[in-house]
């Protein structure tokens, strides 16, 4: 798996809004779940080229809608608005758009900035590069992987304290682990 850093929350008085995954430019980026392309474009400094996907509960196995935003892409994705994607499908390539200059320096920083919103409904409105969905809230993308990996408990006892999150993922040879998962890490891993 690829190293990630970042947090959702206050960072220097503003929301960072997701996680950063350091990647070589041109690394294929995968749809974290089946869904629909709802927006794409080019933002300014600190945003770069982006892609928004919408994932329905039936596509993720979660009880809520997920909106995922991929930022700093190498180029504008060819997928048209309204296109359907499947979990693990290449939807874009990593880049450093929106990172050259400023605090990233003259050469920029190639990475994926992944933002996720949780919403009780699939309704949304796009305003520029921003997504607005009624009742939505920004969540750490790792929450999606944690909740997607949970198994229903038959017991009424409280679950044991969890110390690690298993991240469902696709490998470069197209396999998905664990089998049957509907949510995958946005970068393919090397098979074992």
Asked if CATH classification 2.70.70.10 holds for the domain at 4-145+166-177, the reply, yes or no, is yes
Where are the chain's structural domains?
4-145+166-177
| Local structure of residue 111 (DSSP, 8 states) | E
Q: pLDDT 10s digit of each residue in the chain, 192 long?
A: 444 444 343 334 456 678 999 999 999 999 999 999 999 999 988 899 999 999 999 999 999 999 999 999 999 999 999 999 999 999 999 999 999 887 788 889 999 999 999 999 999 999 989 999 999 999 999 999 888 876 544 445 555 666 677 789 999 998 888 888 999 999 999 988
**10 Å Cβ neighbour count for 105?**
10
pLDDT in tens, 26-69: 999 999 999 999 999 999 888 999 999 999 999 999 999 999 99
The pTM of the full predicted model, rounded to 2 decimals, is 0.86
What is the Cβ-side half-sphere exposure of residue 111, based on CA atoms within 13 angstroms? 21
Contact 109, 68 (CB under 8 A): no
């Amino acid at each position: 798996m690829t190293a990630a850093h970042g947090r959702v929350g206050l960072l220097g008085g503003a929301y960072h809004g997701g996680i950063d995954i350091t990647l070589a430019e041109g690394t294929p980026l995968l749809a974290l779940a089946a869904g629909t392309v709802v927006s794409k474009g080019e933002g300014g400094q600190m945003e770069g080229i982006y892609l928004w996907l919408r994932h329905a509960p039936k596509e993720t196995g979660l009880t809520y809608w997920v909106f995922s935003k991929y930022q700093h892409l190498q180029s504008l994705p060819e997928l048209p608005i309204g296109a359907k994607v499947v979990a693990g499908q290449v939807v874009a390539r990593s880049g450093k758009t929106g990172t050259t200059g400023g605090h990233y320096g003259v050469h920029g920083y190639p990475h994926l900035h992944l933002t996720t919103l949780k919403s009780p409904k699939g309704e949304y409105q796009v305003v520029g590069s921003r997504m607005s969905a009624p009742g939505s809230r920004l969540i750490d993308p790792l929450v999606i992987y944690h909740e997607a990996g949970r198994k229903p408990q038959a017991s009424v006892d409280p679950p044991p304290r969890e110390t690690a999150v298993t991240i469902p993922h696709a490998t470069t040879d197209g396999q998905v682990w664990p089998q049957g998962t509907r949510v995958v890490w946005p970068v393919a891993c090397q098979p074992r």
